[in-house]
Chains A and B, each alone.
Chain A
Amino acid sequence: MTIDSRIVLSADKLSKAVDGPDGRLVILEDVGLTVERGASVAIVGASGSGKTTLLGLLAGLDRPSGGSVSLAGQRLDTLDEEARARLRRRLVGFVFQSFHLLPALNAEENVMLPLELEGRDDARERAAAVLADVGLHKRLHHYPHQLSGGEQQRVALARAFVHEPEVLFADEPTGNLDQRTGAAITDLLFALNRERSTTLVLVTHDLTLAARCARTIRLRDGRVVEGDA
């Protein structure tokens, strides 16, 4: 297998099945895809089609039942949880559908976390700068429960790209937000994609957001039905 240095993310024959209360349930089957550095990809599909599951597998947050994922030339399935964590810290940013901020930390501290995990000294300044980028320079010391949903999502976004990851995964980043706020978040994402050539992999129901992406991958019942392989 040749390693194309332009390919930052690829999946091959990826499948995921779980043993549920009503027997074995196949969530993803035979998914293959490649994403080039600096690309923007939208994953779309009906609810329950397996988008979140796929995103989790691509980002190395979960183990596949079959197939493989390569991230920046590294086969994820050969790594243990510890090594995958190390890889994520370097290469991956993740925005969750439901924010998942740490309630014990304020906005600034939440954003500082990835930098601190890398042991960087400029964590506070960087975090403040990035929060200013997302328009939250006045809310640095507020705790998640003191922020609105949109503000929380902006903090989550800041946290996801503060350490300048290779790939930013976002699961319905605008799903919980109104149109205007959603648009602002979208702008932020694409500015990032443009200026820092961060690869974007988004899951979205939002057709305008999907349309702004260079590529769209459509899932149905756990299989890729449109887009490239």
Chain B
Amino acid sequence: MKPLVFAARSLRREFRHGELATLAAALVLAVAALAAVGTLANRVERAILASASELLGGDLGVSARRSALPDAFTTQAADIGLRSSRIVEFSSVVFAGEASQFSEVRAVDASFPLRGRFAALDAQGREFTAQAPPPGQVFADRAVLVALGRKVGEALQIGGRDLAIAGEIVSAPGGAVFQFAPTVLMNLDDAQASGLLGIGSRASHRVLVAGSEAQVNRYAEWARANLPPAARVSTVEDAQQNLRTSFERGESFLRLAALLAALLSGIAVALAAQRFARRKTEDVALLRCLGASRREIVLALVLELALLAVPACLVGMALGLGMQEAAFAFARDMLPGEAPSMPWGPAASAFAIGLAVLFGFALPPLLRLRDVEPMRVFRQDMEGRTRRFDVLYLLPFVVGAVLILVESGSARLAGVLGGGLIGVALATLLVTLLLLRVLRAGGKTLRGALRFGLANLVRRRALTLVQVGALALSLTALDLLAVIGPSLLDRWRADLPDDTPNYFVLNVQPEQRDDFEKRLTDLHATRVSMLPLAAGKLVAINGQTPRASDYADEQRAGNWIEGEVRVSWSEALPESNRVILGQWHGAENATPQLSVDKSWAEMFALKLGDTMTLRFGDAEITATVASVREIDWDSFRVNFFMMLDPQHAKELPHSLIASFHVPAGTSLSALSREMTNLSLIDIQSILDRVRDIIERVSSAATWVLGFSLAAGLLVLLAALAATADERRFEIALLRTLGANRRQLTTAVLGEFAALGLLAGLVAALGAAGTGIALARTVFRLPDYLPPVGPLAVVAILSAIVVMLAGLAGTRRIARTPPMLVLRRGT
């Protein structure tokens, strides 16, 4: 026997019979879905990353404190072919006549901005796309202009130099979302010439680069190897804390969608492959009888599968890329920036996954036959065969695990999803076994066709388990796509409600408090919150003077040890804070108590009970760490790394910091005119920007979710139609015995309703559980609760769909004369 010839021939023969055609169709569909969703998700993800670049102001940044980065950092960038830009940031007081304003100054060179758009208003209040300020010119936030009483076109002073105001900043790439002072943008040469950056200044220096992904990666590698002490590389991913979460969530959604599509496709191929293997069983036994060697048989089988799979996967890939291109054309408008090019990786991996799943599921049962005596196969008592463990059985599981890991790109997402699915599989197994037991015991009391349908389930126990399992897993994936995903997105959008505080006011003096609050009431301000703010210095940890070099993140620790620490206090735990360790101190305490942020606790290796000593002017306070908090930095509220208990802190010299929401368009100029010491920070534009990002990312994610859902539904229906097809022989036989259509329908409905309800129920519960776990660990939305109503609706709907699919598969058979089916034999 020549295996290749034999394989090609049997492929052709079996294809004519339609058996292999279903397997090929499942494979084409699965690979198409996978390639389409994977590619789409990849492109959307890159579009999102590109917009994150705009926020960072470049594709990669290197920053250092106090001393400028060596020139090598720019020359190396140029050598690689990257564009680069230098930025220096420092705090300074800006003057105009008598008025002054404490500001964050950003000094930029002529290449600013490398990425994104720098928008400003001219003297007439018209928006224009601005260039980096040339020497002698500055751009300033509205708050600066208001505080100084200057307009665009007039002048202000920084470091003793007169600079012309070229425009009011609307949005400038690369700024921090939340800073304690308004921004002024000036020319880098001016800043250097003014002596503001001399030795001892606390400026932070940055080099930003932009170019192709490969170039940026090369540069990152070089930069990490040549990093001076106290410098660090920041990538787009860790651009800005507030927005980072948004991007991460968006990415996680896309990955989730792609992963679920992969899973559904995998299940479909696995089912088809198993069916194929079952049908092939007799052929293999026959070949053994006819004297074919094991090796020949295995070779022929593998070749036949390959001859089928390679073209099917290729067609699927092409189809998937086509679908993806169409979907992308629609999703295009929701994405920021330029259209990312078509990646080939996801399609190639879809191809590989298609092959892996097919072989993973089809080969083990077939290879197992090499040890079975052919006669036993013909006698159909395969059940009685000795069961022994075979390493081959692990193959499908390995394939599944690798699939989840590769596609998710995140161990956490993979872990949660994998755990959820294993849970669903186990629960299904248990519940199905229970149902079968009940049916076996109580089934006799059922009548006729219905009993026949349900008896089928009991009789084909193994197959039933596989089918319910596959169905439950696919329905879980569909539930996640249809219900959990969208509701998580809604929950995310609700993160920034319309009345989110849009103003911060710094420097309110305690004696101004009543007056200030009254003015806020007059302005119809809502959600007013005021916290005391004291600026101090960290002098000791557990009685020892801290040294930056003792800590892992030397640069960050050094920042806080040398710089100013801002401390607040309150009786109640602030909103959007969560105590994760220890106990919130409350009002009454015998000794000073302190609550620190989680990242602080990590940075300074703090434990509960450690003490920190802080100096505020002449006053010194030593407080015990009583709790560690996790802060939701996306909340756009004032948050503090350190919070003292009010009883011991209230006498410290302090000002108040207020946040509140005023209706859009409310002018606060009267407030800043009459209480001249206040600094007002308008974060409405930042809020708008973040909302815009959330909106875009979430609508793009909705698109991908919907697309996966459609692909998943198709795959599921194909799999179901195939299962229904398996019942054709029995239906024909019932027909011979005179069963009418209603009776046939009852039998099929009974069987499929049981399958569908069981799977739908377990899937709904599993999806809810997985959703909660995903919300907590991956999406960081700890208070998310899955919507019960929609889940129930989807569970019932899916049971109905399963029944309809079962019916659809049998209708055709009910219309053909039974003789035809019976002639074919079992």
A residues whose Cβ falls under 8 Å from a Cβ of B: 56, 61-63, 81-82, 85-90, 92, 94, 96, 98, 100, 102-105, 109, 113-114, 116-117, 119, 143, 145, 159
User: Closest 3 A-B residue pairs measured CB to CB?
Assistant: A89-B738, A116-B448, A62-B819
A-B contact pairs, 10 of them (CB 8 A): A81-B815, A85-B739, A90-B738, A96-B822, A100-B736, A103-B459, A104-B455, A109-B455, A114-B738, A116-B447
Answer whether A62 and B452 are a contact pair too, CB < 8 Å, given A89-B737, A89-B739: no
Answer whether A117 and B743 are a contact pair too, CB < 8 Å, given A90-B738, A104-B452, A104-B456: yes
8 Å CB contacts to A: which residues of B784-826?
814-820, 822, 825-826
**Are B740 and A86 interface neighbours, CB within 8 A?**
yes
0/1 per residue, B448-463, Cβ < 8 Å to A? 1101100110111000
* Bound Cα distance A92, B818 (Å): 14
**B contact face: mostly helix, strand, loop, or mixed:** helix
Kindly list chain B residues whose C-beta atoms are within 8 Å of the C-beta of A159: 737
Q: Across the interface, name the chain A residue whose C-beta is closest to B816.
A: A81
**Are B741 and A102 interface neighbours, CB within 8 A?**
no
* Bound Cα distance A117, B460 (Å): 22
Asked if B733 lies at the interface with its beta carbon under 8 angstroms from chain A, I say yes
0/1 per residue, B426-466, Cβ < 8 Å to A? 00000000000000000000011101100110111000000
Answer whether A82 and B741 are a contact pair too, CB < 8 Å, given A100-B822, A116-B447: yes
Q: Across the interface, name the chain A residue whose C-beta is closest to B455.
A: A104
Asked if B734 lies at the interface with its beta carbon under 8 angstroms from chain A, I say yes
Given A104-B452, A117-B734, output 17 extra A-B contacts at Cβ < 8 Å.
A61-B736, A61-B817, A61-B819, A89-B739, A89-B740, A94-B736, A102-B730, A103-B826, A104-B456, A104-B460, A104-B730, A113-B448, A113-B737, A116-B451, A117-B739, A119-B448, A143-B459
Number of A-B contacts (CB under 8 A): 87
Asked if B381 lies at the interface with its beta carbon under 8 angstroms from chain A, I say yes
* Bound Cα distance A104, B740 (Å): 20
* Bound Cα distance A82, B742 (Å): 10
B459, B730, B743, B814: the one contacting A81 at CB < 8 Å is B814
Q: Across the interface, name the chain B residue whose C-beta is closest to A121.
A: B447
* Bound Cα distance A103, B820 (Å): 20
8 Å CB contacts to A: which residues of B726-754?
730, 733-741, 743
CB A181 to nearest CB in B, in angstroms, measures 19
Kindly list chain A residues whose C-beta atoms are within 8 Å of the C-beta of B816: 81
**Are A85 and B817 interface neighbours, CB within 8 A?**
no
CB B550 to nearest CB in A, in angstroms, measures 74
Kindly list chain B residues whose C-beta atoms are within 8 Å of the C-beta of A88: 736-738
* Bound Cα distance A172, B567 (Å): 98
**Are B380 and A145 interface neighbours, CB within 8 A?**
yes
**Are B817 and A117 interface neighbours, CB within 8 A?**
no
* Bound Cα distance A145, B376 (Å): 12
* Bound Cα distance A96, B816 (Å): 19
* Bound Cα distance A204, B475 (Å): 52
**Are A86 and B817 interface neighbours, CB within 8 A?**
no
CB A67 to nearest CB in B, in angstroms, measures 16
B734, B817, B826: the one contacting A62 at CB < 8 Å is B817
CB A97 to nearest CB in B, in angstroms, measures 10
B452, B735, B740, B743: the one contacting A102 at CB < 8 Å is B452
Answer whether A117 and B737 are a contact pair too, CB < 8 Å, given A63-B817, A105-B455: yes
* Bound Cα distance A143, B820 (Å): 25
**Are A81 and B817 interface neighbours, CB within 8 A?**
yes
Answer whether A114 and B737 are a contact pair too, CB < 8 Å, given A56-B819, A61-B822, A145-B380: yes
CB B789 to nearest CB in A, in angstroms, measures 38
8 Å CB contacts to A: which residues of B539-560?
none
Kindly list chain A residues whose C-beta atoms are within 8 Å of the C-beta of B741: 82, 85
Answer whether A117 and B459 are a contact pair too, CB < 8 Å, given A96-B822, A104-B452: no
* Bound Cα distance A219, B540 (Å): 111
* Bound Cα distance A96, B729 (Å): 14
8 Å CB contacts to A: which residues of B520-575?
none
Q: Across the interface, name the chain B residue whose C-beta is closest to A56.
A: B819
Answer whether A86 and B738 are a contact pair too, CB < 8 Å, given A113-B452, A117-B448, A117-B743: yes
Kindly list chain A residues whose C-beta atoms are within 8 Å of the C-beta of B819: 56, 61-62
CB B750 to nearest CB in A, in angstroms, measures 12
Kindly list chain A residues whose C-beta atoms are within 8 Å of the C-beta of B822: 61, 96, 100
0/1 per residue, B351-393, Cβ < 8 Å to A? 0000000000000000000000000000111000000000000
* Bound Cα distance A85, B738 (Å): 4
0/1 per residue, B585-599, Cβ < 8 Å to A? 000000000000000
Kindly list chain A residues whose C-beta atoms are within 8 Å of the C-beta of B815: 81
**Are A116 and B449 interface neighbours, CB within 8 A?**
yes
Instruction: Find the residue from A61, A90, A145 having the highest chain B CB count within 10 A.
Output: A61
Q: Across the interface, name the chain B residue whose C-beta is closest to A103.
A: B459
* Bound Cα distance A146, B34 (Å): 45
Kindly list chain B residues whose C-beta atoms are within 8 Å of the C-beta of A143: 459
Q: Across the interface, name the chain A residue whose C-beta is closest to B727.
A: A104
* Bound Cα distance A87, B816 (Å): 16
Q: Across the interface, name the chain A residue whose C-beta is closest to B383.
A: A145
**Are B814 and A62 interface neighbours, CB within 8 A?**
no
CB A193 to nearest CB in B, in angstroms, measures 21
Kindly list chain B residues whose C-beta atoms are within 8 Å of the C-beta of A113: 448, 452, 734, 737
0/1 per residue, B765-790, Cβ < 8 Å to A? 00000000000000000000000000
**Are B814 and A102 interface neighbours, CB within 8 A?**
no
* Bound Cα distance A114, B458 (Å): 21
CB B3 to nearest CB in A, in angstroms, measures 27
* Bound Cα distance A4, B769 (Å): 72
0/1 per residue, B708-738, Cβ < 8 Å to A? 0000000000000000000000100111111
* Bound Cα distance A137, B7 (Å): 49
* Bound Cα distance A61, B736 (Å): 7
**Are B449 and A117 interface neighbours, CB within 8 A?**
yes
* Bound Cα distance A109, B381 (Å): 20
**Are A117 and B738 interface neighbours, CB within 8 A?**
yes
CB A136 to nearest CB in B, in angstroms, measures 19
* Bound Cα distance A81, B820 (Å): 13
Kindly list chain B residues whose C-beta atoms are within 8 Å of the C-beta of A92: 738
* Bound Cα distance A63, B381 (Å): 36
0/1 per residue, B392-434, Cβ < 8 Å to A? 0000000000000000000000000000000000000000000
* Bound Cα distance A81, B817 (Å): 7
Q: Across the interface, name the chain B residue whose C-beta is closest to A143.
A: B459
Kindly list chain A residues whose C-beta atoms are within 8 Å of the C-beta of B736: 61, 88, 94, 100
* Bound Cα distance A19, B161 (Å): 99
Kindly list chain A residues whose C-beta atoms are within 8 Å of the C-beta of B814: 81
Q: Across the interface, name the chain A residue whose C-beta is closest to B733.
A: A100
CB A63 to nearest CB in B, in angstroms, measures 6
Q: Across the interface, name the chain A residue whose C-beta is closest to B729.
A: A100
* Bound Cα distance A89, B447 (Å): 17
Q: Across the interface, name the chain A residue whose C-beta is closest to B820.
A: A62
Q: Across the interface, name the chain A residue whose C-beta is closest to B447.
A: A116
